[in-house]
Amino acid sequence: MSSQIEWLKDVIPPERTGELETFGKIKLVRSPSSSICLLCKGGRMLCGKMRCPIVAKAQSLAKCSRHITSETIQGSTPPGVFVGRIGYPKVYIGPMVPPYFGDTEILDTPELWVGKTVDEIIDYRFSLIRGKVLAGVFDAQTGGRLLDTLQELAMGVEPADSEAKLTRVPNRVIMLSEDSQPFGPSAPLKSFKVSDVRVDRRVEKAFYDRDLKASEAIVNLYDEGVLTTRIQRAFSLGMFGFANRRKLVPTRWSITAVDSNLSLELIDRVKQNDTIDEYRVYSFKNLDNYFVAILMPENWSFEWIEAWFPGTTWNPDEQASTPAMMGDFESYWGRTTYPDVGGCYYSCRLAVAEKLAQEGRQASALVLREIHPGYILPVGVWNVREGIRAALKTKPAKFDNFKSALNYATTKLTIPLRNWIENSTMLRQALFQRKITEFVG
């Protein structure tokens, strides 16, 4: 075993010792925040988390790596494709293939992940092996053998048997950072073959319509019931829009772009509706995240606030006395700047607008999230979108005034109300700003 990961032997449970030999094939990559990991070595929990994320990833990667024995990977792709962002406008693209056959849809479908444990989600990520080839983002306009195959794959509605030949056995790498997302092994791609793909005719139609705006294609597919993840996958491969304007979009960017575009369309629809008649409070817990949504009988406005407890990703100081809070707000007229909280803002906004559009009503929405130390590593913005979707499917508590709704909401959270007020535009307006209607007879 490599001396650089010798310490892993001391923190692996006895029942997993059969995988220790595999650890010798795993490489560790240091990040700027890795010093605490080197000092802690997974045993002292210096990061403040309930479990060591490095050990969790190492265990999963070792388990998945047992099936990686050669440069040829054969298995059923979910289907899965990936577009990187490093080096943009030259980016790496390629398929994601697990080293086994069967029903693998869940490996790359976050809509199915609510209620799964963090270990299961890490396993899904590490099970997918990425083959990669460098491409220019404007290659989407001209195509090519690999890109054409990937685009056909992105139209798939079910797993497809495939074979990826790599230039070497894929690297099994763990970023020595408690805050990095898990990604499967990767290697340069030599060739890729896939069996017959059963394509989604709705996506196929949008792909071949070279005179349809990308934004319209996204909305049309959503209205036709195509999963958000599948729309994002096709969008990232430059499959929508005018023929001479198509381009590859890094996977991370495509997720936010689709969430943003869909939510804007739904908000426009919501604004045409009457408001709800009462105050509603929805709550949900997942992966040690607490979600609370308060819907108010007012015209559309939206606010999203996150509270990261000490020892979590955006508040790594386990000695901190209070959670780190951040949030963003938009009035009825929307916003023109990118939110400080990033893509989670749009993922949440989509889930809220989706609920109101389905109901045919309008409301003002305040959504609060507490992230506790059990959330040992970031798993992606899907966690917010699907967490809020799940919350809004539950039966809400209903009230006839805002203060009662707010008091109830705080019973579902652990942070005092005054902390939320200090960080919320909407709460300060609701509690301390008098409305003009109060002065009208």
- Give yes or no: residues 185 and 40 share one domain: yes
For 95, other C-beta atoms within 10 Å of its C-beta total 29
Same domain, 54 and 173: yes
Q: Give the tens place of pLDDT for each residue, 187-200.
A: 999 999 999 999 99
**Domain's final residue, options 245, 270, 295:** 270
pLDDT, tens digit, 9 for 90 and up, residues 25-71: 666 565 555 556 655 655 556 666 778 787 788 788 878 777 888 99
Lookup: tokens for 165: 């030949």
**Distance between CA atoms of residues 342 and 383, nearest Å:** 14
Alpha helices, H only, 182-330: 201-208, 214-223, 228-236, 251-270
294 with 388, same domain: the answer is yes
CA dist 350 → 52, 365, 434 (Å)? 32, 12, 30
Same domain membership, residue 417 and residue 316? yes
The answer on 182 and 230 residing in a single domain is no
**Measured distance CA(126)–CA(65) in Å, rounded:** 9
Q: Three-state DSSP class for 258? A: helix
Regarding whether 294 and 180 lie in a shared domain, the answer is: no
Strand order in the sheet with 72-77: 72-77, 160-166, 186-194, 129-136, 90-97, 81-83
Q: Cα–Cα distance between 255 and 228 in angstroms, integer?
A: 9
Give me the pLDDT at residue 43, please.
Answer: 58
Task: State the chain's mean pLDDT as an integer.
Answer: 89
Residues 186 and 214 placed together within one structural domain of the fold: no
Q: Are residues 82 and 163 in the same domain?
A: yes
Distance in angstroms (rounded) separating the CA atoms of residues 13 and 42 = 12
CA distances, 392 to each of 274, 275, 282, 417 (Å) = 19, 17, 6, 22
pTM of the predicted structure, to 2 decimals: 0.90
CA–CA separation, 94 and 360 (whole Å)? 41
Task: Report the C-alpha gap between 251 and 89 in whole angstroms.
Answer: 13
Q: Point out the domain boundary residue: 178, 194, 210.
A: 194
Residues 186 and 224 in one domain: no
Query: Within its chain, how far is the Cα of 299 from the centroid?
Result: 29
Which of 194, 217, 244 is where one domain is finished? 194
Where do the H-state alpha helices sit in 72-227? Answer: 118-127, 145-154, 201-208, 214-223
pLDDT digits (tens, 9 = 90+) for 196-238: 999 999 999 999 999 999 999 999 999 999 999 999 999 999 9
Q: Give residue 380's domain range.
A: 279-439
Please report the pLDDT score of residue 41 as a whole number. 55
Unique residue bearing structure tokens 């390629």? 94
Q: How many domains does the chain have?
A: 3
| Residue 335 and residue 243 share a domain | no
* pLDDT tens figures, 94-116: 999 999 999 999 999 999 999 99
Q: Are residues 19 and 161 in the same domain?
A: yes
Q: What's the pLDDT at 50?
A: 72
Quick one: 172 and 227 in the same domain?
no
